[in-house]
Amino acid sequence: MPLIIPVLGAILLLILMIIWFKFDTFLSFIIVSILLGFACGLDTAAISQSLQTGIGNTLGSLVMILGFGAMLGKLVADSGAAQQITQSMIKLFGINNIQWAMAFAGLLVGIPMFYTAGFVVVVPLIFAAGITTRLPLLYIGIPMIAALSTAHGFLPPHPSPTAIAAQLNADIGKTLVYGLLIAIPTITLAGPMFGKTLKKIQVNPSGNLLNIQLRPAIELPPLGISLATGLMPLILLAVTTLIKPYLPAGSIWATVNEFIGEPNLAMLISLLVAIYFLGIRRGQSTSQVMKVLEESIKSIAPVLLIIAGSGVFMQVMKDGGVNQYLATLLVDLPIPPLVLGWMIAAIIRVCIGSATVAGLTTVGILGPLIVNSGASPELMVLSIGAGSLMFSHVNDGGFWLFKEYFNLSIKQTFKTWTVMETTVSIVGLICVLIMNIFIK
C-alpha cells in the first residue's frame, strides 16, 4: 500500500477528532500516531519507542526556553510593564500617529508574551486608548493585534517558531533577526494600513469588558526598566548573533558571546533580570515572585502537550519511513521549498485551526526534503510560520477570542480578524522570498 494513503488518512482522522469529535489535541495526536504506526508496519514495541522518543526529543530542547518565556511574560504583565510600554508609546507618537504607536507597542509586548496572554493584557489598553481618544476601536486595535499575531508566528521564544527551529536545527538568533526584519513590513500592511479601512465598523464591547482596571501611573515600573526587561531576550539573542562573525575564534570574548547567546541561557538571564527589577526591587518578596512564576507554568501546559503530541506524530512518520517517502514524492514538484512549506502549513492551519499544530505537522511531513533542499533553515521556519497563520476562521480559538472581546458578528470577524491574519500570512511569505534572494 502506498504510504501516502495512511498519511492522508491520519491527517484526515486528526482533523475529524479535533474539529468534529472535539477530542483533546494531545490525545488525538497520540491515537492517530499509534494507528499510523501500525499502518506503516511498525510493531507494538517500535511504536512505544517512537512515542517515548518523540516526546523526549521534542520537549527536551523546548521546556526551558518556553518555561522561562512564560515566566518572563507573566512578570511583564503583572508588574504593569506592558501597560507602561503601551501608554508611553501613545504619548511618544501622539494621537495623530496612534496606529503606529499601538503597532509598535504590540510588537514590544508581543515578543516576551505568548499570544493569548498578550491579547488579554493589551485589549483593556486598546479599550482605554479608544475611550481617551474617541477613535474607532478597530482602527487603533487592529495594528496592535496584528503585531501580536506576527510575533506569535515568526519570533522566538513563541512556541511554534521555537519548536520548528529546534526541529530544523535553525539558529534561534538568526531566526529572530530575520523575523524582525520581516515583521516590519508585515505589521505595517496588516496593522495600520488595513486598520485605516475599518473606521466605519462600530464596536460596542460588553459593559463588563469596558470596566477597565488599569494601574495608576505611580504604580507602574519606569519605561526604561519595562523595555529593558521585556526585550532582554531580543537584545541578547540579536546582539550576540550580529557580533559573532567579528569576534576572534577561541577568544574569551567569543566564549562569553556564545554563552550569553545560547537561547536557554539568554532566557534564563532575562528572567533573572526581570525577577529583580519587576519583582524584588519593587517591594515583592521572593516567595511572592516565585508564586507568580508558578502560575505562569500552568498557562503553557496545554501548549507543551500539543507540541509533545506533534513530536510523537513526527517521530512515527520518521520511524515508519513516511517522511522519506513523502520527500521523494515532493522533491520533483516544481514548487520552491519555501513556498511548499508555507502552502502545506496553510492547508493544515485552515483544516485544524491551530498555528502550532500546523507548523509542527508541516515539519514532520517535509523534514528530509527541507534538509536536502539547501533552503535556509531560518527562512524555512519563517515560511512555515507564515503559512500557519493563514485564513483563521471558526475552528481557531483566536477567532472567537477576537470576536467576543470586540463584540463582533461572525461576518464582521471574518472581515476584520480573518483578513488581518491572511494578510500577515501572505505578506510574510512574500518577505521571506525576497529575503531569500539576498542571503543566499
One-letter identity of residue 197 = T
Please tell me which of 57-61, 246-250, 287-291, 292-296 the model is most confident about, judged by mean pLDDT: 287-291
Give residue limits of the domains in the chain.
44-60+301-439, 63-157+172-299
Tell me how far apart the alpha carbons of residues 268 and 86 are, in angstroms, rounded to a whole number: 25
Residue 268 predicted with pLDDT over 90 = yes
Closest CA to 65 of 162, 178, 175, 171: 162
CA distances from 186 to 107, 162, 230, 283 (A): 12, 20, 22, 40
Residue with cell 529583580: 276
The winner for highest mean pLDDT among 283-297, 358-372, 389-403, 416-430 is 416-430
Q: Read off φ and ψ for residue 374, nearest 5 degrees.
A: 80, 0
Angle at CA 172, nearest 5°, toward 168 and 176? 120
Taking the CB of residue 354, how many other CB atoms lie within 10 A of it? Answer: 22
Distance CA 101, CA 92 (A): 8
Q: Mean pLDDT, to the nearest integer, of 11-26?
A: 84
Q: Are 360 and 399 in contact (CB under 8 A)?
A: no
pLDDT at residue 231 in the model: 87
Max Cα–Cα distance, the chain, nearest Å:
69
* Model confidence at 1: pLDDT above 60: no
Q: What local confidence, expressed as pLDDT, does residue 149 receive?
A: 94
Give the span between the Cα atoms of 388 and 252, in whole angstroms: 41
DSSP 220-257: SPPHHHHHHHHTHHHHHHHHHHHHGGGSPTTSHHHHHH
* Counts for the chain of helices (H) and strands (E), in that order: 24, 0
pLDDT average, residue stretch 181-209: 87
Does the pLDDT of residue 277 top 90, yes or no?
A: yes
Highest mean pLDDT among 22-26, 89-93, 385-389: 385-389
Per-residue pLDDT band at 83 (split at 50, 70, 90): confident
Pairwise CA distance, residues 425 & 346, whole Å: 8
Q: What is the mean pLDDT of the chain?
A: 87
pLDDT digits (tens, 9 = 90+) for 36-46: 999 989 999 99
**414, 424 contact by CB (below 8 A):** no
pTM of the complete model: 0.81
Give the pLDDT confidence of 96-139 residue by residue, as tens digits.
899 999 999 999 888 887 787 788 778 878 887 887 788 899 99
Q: Do residues 283 and 331 lie in contact, with contact meaning Cβ atoms separated by under 8 Å?
A: no
Q: Is residue 329 over pLDDT 90?
A: no
- In this predicted structure, the answer to whether residue 2 has a pLDDT above a threshold of 80 is no
